[in-house]
Amino acid sequence: MEFVFIEGTFNLFERPKGCSVYSIMNRIKDRLVPLHLMLTFCVGLSVLKAQTSTATTDIMGYSTVSLYPGGSAVVPPFVNSSSYSASSTFDGASNLSASGLTVGAFNAASGYSTFFVEICSGPYTGYNFPVLSNTSSSIVASGLPSDLGSVVSIKVRAYTTLSTVANGSAGLSDYADTFTLYRPNDKVSSYIYTASGVLADDYATAAGNVPMAPGTGFIINNSLNSSVTFVGEVDANQCVVPLNAGTTLVGPLNPVGGVNVSSINLAPALAPYTDSASLVASDGSLAITSFYSDGSSLLDANYTPLTSNGSPTVGVANGIVVNAGQNSVWTAPSVLSN
């Protein structure tokens, strides 16, 4: 029997036997989330200050996800804490104003963006855009829409990378276990786990800095019982996840788990009766349960609308494979909005 101690509450919580996902948050100050999160997730809170003059409250935590031998679809359930947060002026192209930055701190490296801008206000709230570079007073990001707005609230966060996953893992087999990522244009990329760093499938090129956008994940094939521990912030923002024409692996940013698949707002992102969303089993089998959409509700394999009582649940870091005929976006609600 294991017990969890929540600092500041002086209570012990029993961890159920056989629990494959173990989640803790550290309570430092006031309770800021609904009680059901406290009970389900053993939630505590950490009060932090953002890198601006405004004090904000961030909820930090970690989740350890068990990986059975075989294959699993995994989506990191947290985002990294913001490295910069402010109200920013947009020039209508690719530049966002900033202040007090270290030149090059957010620059892309080795061909990959290492940071992204999260939009926190206006019609594009929840969208994320890769950062290309920065000066002391501006941030250059890729893909910013021209109608973003003249002034927007932003956060800059580091991407979760394959190194993040590898460094948080236990039990993975050197040069045997693999990660698979689905990319735009129906491209599939495979990477090799090694104890000294993740490699491309040529077994030579370093690939640890390969990023994953929030709400997206990877297939992991592992030969032995393993685990991955994710550490980060529970994003209070909704997350807008691009769905590529072809295949995309996605999942809710939900470190609590147990949410009904019918309640994560996936149906409007799918083309009615043609696109599919398949919940991947977490038992190592990579078995799937597929769903469709009528444009507003998810449907089962017989095109019958799912009900909240009959809807399967999405576990912590549990991935969903979406097959779409054209590019779309999925607006995933924050777990804190429920």
Please report, as a single letter, which amino acid is at residue 119: I
Q: Which residues of 79-112 are buried (b: 16+ CB within 10 A; e: fewer)?
A: bbbbbbbbebebeeebbbebeebeeebbebeeee
Domain ranges (residues) in the chain: 82-158, 235-337
Q: Read off the pLDDT of residues 91-134 as tens digits, 9 standing for 90 and up.
A: 999 999 999 999 999 999 989 999 999 999 999 999 999 999 99
pLDDT confidence of residue 337: 84
Contact 5/24 with Cβ under 8 angstroms? no
pTM of the complete model:
0.84
Q: Read off the pLDDT of residues 203-258 as tens digits, 9 standing for 90 and up.
A: 999 999 999 999 999 999 999 999 999 999 999 999 999 999 999 999 999 998 89
Q: Read off the pLDDT of residues 147-158 as tens digits, 9 standing for 90 and up.
A: 999 999 999 999
- Residue 242: DSSP 8-state: E
Q: Which of 55, 53, 119 is nearest to 88 (CA)?
A: 119
Q: Which of 334, 299, 240 is nearest to 34 (CA)?
A: 334
Can you spell out the DSSP letters for 126-149? T-EEEEEEE-SSEEEESS--TTS-
The structure tokens 């930055």 sit at 101
Can you spell out the DSSP letters for 169-232? EESPPTTT-EEEEEEGGGEEEEEE--TT--EETTSSSB-TT-EE-TTB-EEEEESS-EEEEEEE
